[in-house]
Structure 1
Amino acid sequence: MSLTTAQTQALGTDLRRRRDLLAAELRERLHTSGQDVPAGLRDYLGAGVDPSEAYEELADDLAWLGHETIVLRRLDAALRRLSIGGYGTCIYCGGDIPPERLQAMPAAESCVACQEAAERERRRHPA
């Protein structure tokens, strides 16, 4: 079942809202940290800082940044699919992605069957 125009518009609005919120959060976190330098340039090994704590803090910040960047890229990709008319279509099999799945995961690029197959394959051949 293809998306109706109303569903596509509502999902597009949600995608843009989520993308704008995430981009604003990334900008805020990278450019303001309550310190004199942007968080992205913070001196993790400043005077008197325990190196193991500094490493842990840096690792946490990098993990957060990596995850949020992936989410942002997925939202951007979904918005591109929306703009060219491919939104709601599985990138693997070309079938429809159910509206319920898109409401739960607006950046979903695959149908449930293809997603399950990809997850089974990843479990069989972990990286």
Structure 2
Amino acid sequence: MPPISPQLHEEIGQRLRKDREGMLAAIHARTDGDTDDRPAISPMAHMGSNDDAPAGEMLSHNEEHLAEHETRLLQDIDAALGRLESGGYGICVRCGQDIPEARLVATPTVQTCIGCQEEIEKEQHTGRGPTM
């Protein structure tokens, strides 16, 4: 028996595909040329003729970090879609146990059960605790 219901499978699939489209749009908006044909993450994208160079560099640096974050989220979405299509969605990648549906609904890209997530966070000393 699959770890999630057919209804949840369809719901999560639609949500992940919608999130993927939105994330791709955000990434393209950040990396495509703007009115000056410079992507928002390019070093000089935030510099005008009278702008402060450190402020422009800081804005470009922030844009670069946002683009990296969005790219990681897109990778997480793609991985979740792959697990959904292969039948492995809802199964903890660390221990092989089923992930509770409430956790999957709260965070569709989650890969671990709460117990394994707590262990990972202890090992990495992040101390956040599980998100659901």
Q: TM-score, normalised by structure 2?
A: 0.84
Higher relative contact order by CA 8 Å / sep ≥ 6: 1 or 2?
A: 1
Q: Which amino acid aligns with 1:20?
A: E
Unaligned segments of structure 1, at least 5 residues: none
User: 2:44–2:57: 8 Å Cα contact kept in structure 1?
Assistant: no
- Measure how far apart 1:91 and its partner are: 0.3
RMSD: 2.0
* Higher normalized helix content (fraction of residues): 1
CA displacement, residues 78-119 of structure 1 (integer Å, 9 cap, x when unaligned): 011111110110000001111111111000000111011100
Question: Would the aligned equivalents of 2:30 and 2:63 in 1 still touch at CA under 8 Å?
Answer: no
Q: Give the 5 Å matches for 1:72-91.
A: 72-91=74-93
Amino acid in the other structure paired with 1:108: V
Runs of 4+ in structure 1 deviating by more than 6 angstroms, as ranges, are: none
Q: Counterparts of 1:47 and 1:83 in 2: how far apart (Å)? A: 51
The total of aligned residue pairs comes to 124
Q: 1:116 aligns with which of 101, 115, 118?
A: 118
Alpha-carbon distance between aligned partners in 2 of 1:48 and 1:75, rounded to the nearest angstrom:
41
Contact 1:31 1:40 in 2 (8 A): no
TM-score by length of 1: 0.87
Letter in 2 for 1:29: R
Unaligned runs of 5+ in 2: 127-132
Letter of the 1:121 counterpart? E
**Alignment partners' CA distance in 1, 2:73 and 2:33:** 21
CA distance in 2, matches of 1:112, 1:19: 25
**Amino-acid identity (%):** 33
